[in-house]
A and B are shown apart, each in its own frame.
Chain A
Amino acid sequence: QVQLQESGPRLVKPSETLFLTCSVSDDSLRGYYWTWVRQSAGKGLEWIGRIYINGASNYNPSMKSRLTMSVDASKKEFSLTLTSVTAADSAVYYCARDREDSFGQLDYWGHGVLVSVSS
């Protein structure tokens, strides 16, 4: 059973940078892609992007210019950096494991962290 836990600030000011980290319970970082998904209040799920252990990544084109992901296998964690945030970036952010080796299903998820963008 893989466990994921998101961490980061719950409140970010407009135009500032959001930094979130996802900690993974075991050594399973290797061999998988790791994904971020967000969900605005009362809305559906939006795929943000994903990263592999070697740093290879894919980003949603709608956020690509503001987005960076990284991975640190030694710490068993991966991270998301989103710059120039606005109120539209307020959402619950989830991290998940991506089975790109199967059908692209997200089989393990963190509990999510609610991020609000407000001055």
Chain B
Amino acid sequence: DIQVTQFPSSLSASVGDRVNITCRASQAISSYLNWYQQQPGKAPELLIYGASTLRNGIPSRFSGTKSGTTFTLTITSLQFEDFATYYCQQGYTSSLYTFGQGTRLDIK
């Protein structure tokens, strides 16, 4: 099974900051890595798919990059509504998708 290790598990930042969240896959998954944002009590929302493609309607302060089996979600100029939990998900093995452990982003 492909494991996806996400870190950090939690992060504190201020409005206007830039933050990075990382996921590392246990083996090569090409660009089959997706990012989600989950607000408390809500369903996850797709932000980025294919490692770096921003979903329509998602602000451009969100971006995704890939380097080998390491994937990074960057949020520049944090806004109040960005404080949430973020998950990565590998879609490479269609018989068993796996999610990262999640990163909780709090206001400092």
Number of residues from A at the complex interface, CB < 8 A:
23
Residues of A within 8 A of B90 (CB): 104
Complex Cα–Cα for A45 and B4 (A)? 12
In the complex, identify which listed stretch (B11-19, B20-28, B44-52, B75-83) lies at the interface while the others stay far away.
Answer: B44-52
Within 8 A of B (CB), among A61-78: 61
* B69 interface hit (Cβ, 8 Å): no
State the majority secondary structure of interface residues on B: loop
Select B91's contact among A37, A94, A105, A110, beta carbons within 8 Å: A105
Indicate if the CB atoms of B98 and A105 lie closer than 8 Å. Answer: no
Indicate if the CB atoms of B49 and A102 lie closer than 8 Å. Answer: yes
Contacts A100-B94, A103-B91 given; indicate if A44 touches B49 (C-beta within 8 A): no
Number of residues from B at the complex interface, CB < 8 A:
28
Indicate if the CB atoms of B99 and A99 lie closer than 8 Å. Answer: no
Select B96's contact among A45, A60, A112, beta carbons within 8 Å: A60
Most chain A beta-carbon contacts within 10 A, residue among B31, B42, B94, B101:
B94
State the majority secondary structure of interface residues on A: strand
Complex Cα–Cα for A72 and B58 (A)? 33
Residues of B within 8 A of A33 (CB): 94
Indicate if the CB atoms of B49 and A45 lie closer than 8 Å. Answer: no
Within 8 A of B (CB), among A9-68: 33, 35, 37, 44-47, 58, 60-61
Indicate if the CB atoms of A47 and B44 lie closer than 8 Å. Answer: no
Residues of B within 8 A of A99 (CB): 49, 91
* B34 interface hit (Cβ, 8 Å): yes
